[in-house]
Amino acid sequence: MRYIVALYEIDRAYGGPEEGGWWFDTGTLCRLLALAPTEARAVRLAARTNRLLDRLQTDKRCVDSLLYSGGRHRAIVFEGTAPAAFPEVPPHYA
C-alpha cells in the first residue's frame, strides 16, 4: 500500500450548542506533497514538513484564536488517497 503526505489548510467549525458549544477541526486539501512506500517514511516526511511550517507560520494566529482568519497549514498522512476535505462527514454530538 502507498502512503500520501498531503498539505491541508486547517480551520475550526462550530459543531453545535450542546454543553456550552463545541468545535471540531477541519481541513481543505491544498496539494499533495509526496508519496511514500511505507507509513514510517510518510510520518517522517510529514513531521519534517510540519516543523518547517511551524517556523514559517509564526506570524499566523493559532487556530484556537477567535481572531484566526485562515492561513495555517499542516501536513497529514493518509493511506491510499487523500480526501478533498476532512472530516468527510461532520461529527455529531453524542
Whether 85 is in a domain gets the answer no
Confidence of residue 48 (pLDDT cuts 50, 70, 90): very high
Q: Count of domains in the chain? A: 1
pLDDT score recorded for residue 69: 80
Confidence of residue 61 (pLDDT cuts 50, 70, 90): confident
Whether 86 is in a domain gets the answer no
**What average pLDDT does the segment 9-14 reach?**
91
Report H helices in 9-85: 39-56
Which residues constitute the domain of residue 29?
3-79
- pLDDT tens-place string over residues 17-41: 888 888 899 999 999 999 999 999 9
Whether 71 is in a domain gets the answer yes
